Structure 1
Amino acid sequence: MAFEPLVWYCQPAAYVAWAKMVDGAFGAYTPCAINSMVISISYLVFLGLCCYRIFLIKKNSKVQRFSLRSKCYSYMLCLLAGYCTIEPLLRLLMGISIFNLNGETGLAPYEATSSIIEATAWCSVLIMIGLETESYIFEFRWCVRFGIVYVLLGNAVLLNLVLPVKDLYSSYALYLSMGTFFCKVLFGILLLVYFPNLNPCLGYILVQSKSSDDEEYELLSGMEQIFPERQANVISRAFFGWITPLMQQGYKSPITESDVWKLDTWDQTETLIQKFHKCWAKETQRSKPWLLRALNGSLGRRFWWGGVVKVVFISCQYTGPIFLNHLLQSVQHGDPAWFGYTYAFLMFLGVLCVALLEAHYVHIIWRVGFRLRSTLVAAIFHKSLRLNHEVRKNFPSGKIMNMITTDVNTLQGVCEQLHIFWSAPFSIINSMVLLYQQLGVASLLGSLMLVLNVPLQTIVVSKMRKVTKKRLDWTDRRVNIMNEVLAAMDTVKFYAWEKSFQSRVHSIRNDELSWLRRAQLLSALNSFILNSIPVVVTVVSFGMFTFLGGDLTPARAFTSLSLFTLLQIPLDALPGLLSQV
């Protein structure tokens, strides 16, 4: 038995013709589904965006305001928006339905509701444009333009539904619908390309690159605000909403040092070094103190939390290929369309989770890397101030500076990439297991080619680093001799040594170019391997699968391609890391 409120709202009995004329999973509910889930939702989003911009124009005193030099363009937009406001009200009052076929009359409740929402949305647009003619602001205007694009996409879906059955419409209803659609498209185009000429309103100061601290719309200047991440709510931390004020400030004027938040206590060097000293004091009580263990005690908690996020992030990467396989199989088997919509929505959620988790992983690991850098620099500086004269002979200032710069930077880079050493095998194993389920033994051949590519690329990258280092040595020689020549130019000119030094510089430059040529050849070889191996692996794997008698369906082929891509990501990252070991 059907759900009675849904039957009353959609009235499927009045739209039986749609089930016969249109190939859709919703049958007689197709007009109701399209109008409610596509058209109404797009207009509700558009209405919310316009209302928020109206609120900013009317109530927000922190935004900079302008006046239009010419209002003709706005009047044209008002004219189009006014027509789009009146048209759904006209259909509602006259009972003109865009879904009536074969002389069917009357408006179903869903269509009446949609017409009211549409008229309200366009009325808000009319009010917004009217307010903009008096006080124009930049804030949120692109969000409103996104809203009109969303509305046009929804109307395009509706038009795609109506056109196949246009012969069953009355000419009046069809021409009214088509004319309104083109009017909306014209309004959308005009709004998207609308960049008005503006004058600053009286009482508001233009935002300069160096703004004063007492401007009302400056969110950060003149205040010593603490880094807001720890105090942000769960949603703000999940979507990095806490950084919005800084981005708004950067949109208005170049960010200066006074605009940036003060570090929270957990990121300050004083807090980090105190925690490290406690861990190091415990470590010195052991027979063999180990710096890495002390760093793990002071910074490891957040570092390993990044590893947990990395595991979840990698796991979510496989939702795309898995649900893609189910989606293509549902199409292949002729399952109801809502199966496909469900799988597509789950794929979208998977991609969203991957993007968020990857951003959080990078944020966590980079923060740990900078904390490690601050801790080690402070520890080295603290230790260097307490060296006696005998020990100081073994640690000259140049060596200490080299430790603070080069060595600490290297450890920071290792910290930011260390999780790849264990996550890469995890990703490789997962990809190979899923590939084996799709292609069987043939997948092992393709996977083996990718795995064997790792040592080959490691050798090429390692050789390229050595060649680059040699080239830099010759560059240093050339620069040194040029500095010597320039420093003693009077002597060189007095003894007429120009030709001699010129030949020496040219000889060193030729050697430098020879090493540069080798490095470029190795780089080209590495690029060739990176770009050719996916094609070779795909051809070999699919060819072997077909040769062994397998049925290469679209679901199997596209799922395997996605999995090979995921398998290649960690394999491409390993050579660069292994060459640094």
Structure 2
Amino acid sequence: MRSGSLWADELPPPSLGLRSRSNSSANQHQRQKHHVAGESEHAAHASSASGSAPDDECGTKPEDGGYDYNPGDRRFVGRALRQHWYQFWRFRDPPLPPPPSMEDAGVTPYARAGWLSVLFYEWMTPMMVLGYRRPLESSDLWRMDSQHEAKTLSRRLNADWERRVREAEEKNRKIIDGTTQPGFATKAAWAVGIAKDRYLLRKETARRPRNYSGHHRPSLIMAIHDQFAWLLWTGLLIKLVGDVAQLTAPLVVRRIITYGQQAYAAAHDPMHTLPAPSVGLGVGLSFVLFAMTIIASVFQHQFFFRSMSVGVFSRAALISAIFERGLQMNGKDRAAGKLTNHISTDVSRIDFASNWFTLVVSAPIQIIICLVILLTQLGPSALAGFAILVLAAPVQTLAMGQMFKARRKSMVWTDKRAKGIAEILSSMRIVKSFSFEPDFLDRLHTVRKNELRGIRTLLLIRSAANAVAFSLPVLAAVLAFVTYSLTGHSLNPANIFTSLTLFNLLRMPLLFLPLALSATTDAMNAFGRLQRVFEAPLVKDTSEREPDSKYGLVLQDASFQWDQ
């Protein structure tokens, strides 16, 4: 059997690929033996790498109490180690065994990585190499550092939220006693809000929006922003630098094409009167284009890494805070399945929107830079192509508004479905005893049907918006070139290729802008739903257990009532 490949292509019948003894203590003892007997482990790997036949179908022979981890039950052949000095492509030593448990895993190197390692993701190299040499296990993954653990992020979020609650209460107190007077803009906004029927029909005791009563509400969005503002806005700054490098690269391409035209004309000039451009200029332009491409690529990926980090950290902080507050909420505020729906739906939308939120700011900047460069290349003819993009903007805005309405309507049915499923599961014995399955299934079917109707409308609007955004750059380029030709201009290759590149670069912001707006509206809706969870009153009374108490629970002269 060949020793140069890691996994053979032959796949046996599917299985779990994890064979373990029933004795867990023997399993732990075998894992400890892997760490103590290092020399025997190295010798075993070396003998396997020499090309000897495997002892079982996976190429390893687990000892008593041991285990053999092989996802998918793939045939392990073994990877040869370095036997001679010139075999530099082989590793000298076999890979280390995985840690015994997740608690024994090391802290992520990202916490102490330098700026160069962060910029080029060098801190991920050890994990990539280990995954190349052997299958990864869960204990191989690094632990988060103490600053980014879920409990730390949740504690910071709760502290920021409480601070903003106190600030809002102080501002409201000043508004009530007349210490603070609203300005002209605030009064004008109130006048517009009062004129709307939906505000006139509100009860006096109902919760009013900020622009109607002047009362401030603590913002959950700003509480999240207080924690991750550095990651978020530095990511946006990095994105803008990468966009500038990417959008100005076509100008270098235009200069290279012009250089080639001049060199060709000088080489084929029969009179030899045209001066030939310097070779160093062409080489320098090539290096400049290469550097701009590298800068654009590195900075774009750094932007997405920071945006995704904001989403992951926000998700961890929100989930931990929701669980903590859920244990202290009243029964009427903690509806069945509602907190689970918040975690599975709303928090996921916030996580997704963090990847695209900054594109709402950067995409218009990209479009403006492209338009300015196109005007320098094609003149007023570029406005003919850009007019299509301008005319499509109101359509995209209208589509985003309809998507927001469809999402809000479907979420009502989503909450009803989650609540109904939770109630059915909690009362399954009664449902089965009285054969209520058909009735409850009909109810769930009706709720789910209405929910899917809203989701279908949402997906149709989103697909139409994405199709329009994807086809607009092509239509804009065609119209711009036709107008440029009809106005009596000659089609210069330098201008044509530069303009085509710019119109192609316009495709990405136009394609991602509807997605960013859609994700942002979904996240705003999710934040509004989570806001009610954080504003719900908490039960401050706690009970303490006494281990030496004679009785577990004692009630004397107690009275009970249902939550209103």
Residues 395, 245 of structure 1: alpha-carbon distance in 2 compared, 3 angstrom cutoff: same
- 1:363-378 → structure 2 map (5 Å cutoff): 363-378=305-320
Matched residues in 1 for 2:415 and 2:333: separation?
A: 27
Q: Which residue of 2 aligns with 1:97?
A: none
Matched residues in 1 for 2:134 and 2:483: separation?
A: 60
Structure 1 residue 311 corresponds to structure 2 residue 189: no
Superposed displacement of residue 254, structure 1: 2.9
Q: Which residue of 2 aligns with 1:258?
A: 139
Residues 221, 412 of structure 1: alpha-carbon distance in 2 compared, 3 angstrom cutoff: same
Native 8 Å contact 1:538 1:561 kept in 2: yes
Percent of aligned pairs with the same residue?
A: 28
Q: Which runs of 4+ in 1 moved over 6 A?
A: 135-138, 464-478, 504-524
Superposed displacement of residue 331, structure 1: 1.4
Residues 366, 578 of structure 1: alpha-carbon distance in 2 compared, 3 angstrom cutoff: closer
1:442 paired residue among 378, 381, 394: 381
Native 8 Å contact 1:276 1:294 kept in 2: yes
Matched residues in 1 for 2:155 and 2:297: separation?
A: 35
Native 8 Å contact 2:119 2:298 kept in 1: yes
With normalisation by structure 1, the TM-score equals 0.54
Matched residues in 2 for 1:510 and 1:281: separation?
A: 40
Name the SS for the 2:109 alignment partner.
coil
Native 8 Å contact 1:443 1:541 kept in 2: yes
- 1:192-231 → structure 2 map (5 Å cutoff): 199=52, 209-210=69-70, 216-218=94-96, 221-222=99-100, 224-231=105-112
Q: Which residue of 2 aligns with 1:421?
A: 360
Matched residues in 1 for 2:115 and 2:405: separation?
A: 48
Native 8 Å contact 1:210 1:253 kept in 2: no
Q: Which residue of 1 aligns with 2:280?
A: 338
Q: Which residue of 2 aligns with 1:325?
A: 254
Structure 1 residue 535 corresponds to structure 2 residue 464: no
Matched residues in 1 for 2:435 and 2:157: separation?
A: 56
Name the SS for the 2:127 alignment partner.
helix
Matched residues in 1 for 2:311 and 2:447: separation?
A: 39
1:346-365 per-residue CA deviation (whole Å, 9 max, x = no partner) reads: 22221211221111111111
1:354-407 per-residue CA deviation (whole Å, 9 max, x = no partner) reads: 2211111111111111111111222222222233x4xx3133242222333322
Q: Which residue of 2 aligns with 1:563?
A: 502
Residues 359, 198 of structure 1: alpha-carbon distance in 2 compared, 3 angstrom cutoff: farther
Superposed displacement of residue 520, structure 1: 8.6
Superposed displacement of residue 531, structure 1: 4.9
Q: Which residue of 1 aligns with 2:540?
A: none
Structure 1 stretches of 5 or more lacking a match? Answer: 1-64, 69-134, 139-196
Query: What letter matches 1:218 in structure 2?
Result: L
Matched residues in 2 for 1:463 and 1:225: separation?
A: 48
1:150-172 per-residue CA deviation (whole Å, 9 max, x = no partner) reads: xxxxxxxxxxxxxxxxxxxxxxx
Superposed displacement of residue 220, structure 1: 5.2
- 1:125-140 → structure 2 map (5 Å cutoff): none
Query: What letter matches 2:164 in structure 1?
Result: E
Superposed displacement of residue 328, structure 1: 1.0
1:379 paired residue among 292, 316, 321: 321
1:2-41 per-residue CA deviation (whole Å, 9 max, x = no partner) reads: xxxxxxxxxxxxxxxxxxxxxxxxxxxxxxxxxxxxxxxx
Name the SS for the 1:305 alignment partner.
helix
Native 8 Å contact 1:454 1:572 kept in 2: no
Native 8 Å contact 1:66 1:136 kept in 2: no
Q: Which residue of 1 aligns with 2:302?
A: 360
Native 8 Å contact 1:458 1:576 kept in 2: no
Name the SS for the 2:110 alignment partner.
coil
Superposed displacement of residue 219, structure 1: 6.9
Matched residues in 2 for 1:375 and 1:267: separation?
A: 9
Query: What letter matches 1:575 in structure 2?
Result: P
Residues 295, 470 of structure 1: alpha-carbon distance in 2 compared, 3 angstrom cutoff: closer
Structure 1 residue 302 corresponds to structure 2 residue 231: yes
Structure 1 residue 431 corresponds to structure 2 residue 312: no
Matched residues in 2 for 1:460 and 1:385: separation?
A: 40
Q: Which residue of 2 aligns with 1:156?
A: none
Q: Which sits farther off after the overlay, 365-374 or 336-345?
A: 336-345
Query: What letter matches 2:118 in structure 1?
Result: R
Name the SS for the 1:323 alignment partner.
helix
1:319-352 per-residue CA deviation (whole Å, 9 max, x = no partner) reads: 3212111111111222234323322222222121
Higher helix share goes to which structure?
1
Matched residues in 2 for 1:438 and 1:282: separation?
A: 53
Q: Which residue of 1 aligns with 2:536?
A: none
- 1:86-485 → structure 2 map (5 Å cutoff): 199=52, 209-210=69-70, 216-218=94-96, 221-222=99-100, 224-286=105-167, 287=170, 289-334=218-263, 335-387=277-329, 389=330, 392-459=331-398
Matched residues in 2 for 1:509 and 1:268: separation?
A: 37
Residues 236, 522 of structure 1: alpha-carbon distance in 2 compared, 3 angstrom cutoff: closer
Residues 344, 440 of structure 1: alpha-carbon distance in 2 compared, 3 angstrom cutoff: same
Native 8 Å contact 2:98 2:137 kept in 1: no
Native 8 Å contact 1:66 1:200 kept in 2: no
Matched residues in 2 for 1:137 and 1:415: separation?
A: 47
Native 8 Å contact 1:470 1:515 kept in 2: yes
Native 8 Å contact 1:66 1:201 kept in 2: no
Residues 417, 463 of structure 1: alpha-carbon distance in 2 compared, 3 angstrom cutoff: same
Name the SS for the 1:255 alignment partner.
coil
Name the count of aligned residue pairs: 378
Residues 361, 509 of structure 1: alpha-carbon distance in 2 compared, 3 angstrom cutoff: closer
Superposed displacement of residue 447, structure 1: 1.5
Name the SS for the 1:284 alignment partner.
helix
Name the SS for the 1:330 alignment partner.
helix
Matched residues in 2 for 1:67 and 1:574: separation?
A: 48
Superposed displacement of residue 262, structure 1: 1.0
Superposed displacement of residue 278, structure 1: 3.6
1:86-121 per-residue CA deviation (whole Å, 9 max, x = no partner) reads: xxxxxxxxxxxxxxxxxxxxxxxxxxxxxxxxxxxx
Superposed displacement of residue 437, structure 1: 0.9
Query: What letter matches 1:253 in structure 2?
Result: R
Query: What letter matches 1:343 in structure 2?
Result: L
Native 8 Å contact 2:246 2:296 kept in 1: yes
Query: What letter matches 2:468 in structure 1?
Result: I
Native 8 Å contact 2:375 2:383 kept in 1: yes
Residues 432, 395 of structure 1: alpha-carbon distance in 2 compared, 3 angstrom cutoff: same
Native 8 Å contact 1:467 1:519 kept in 2: yes
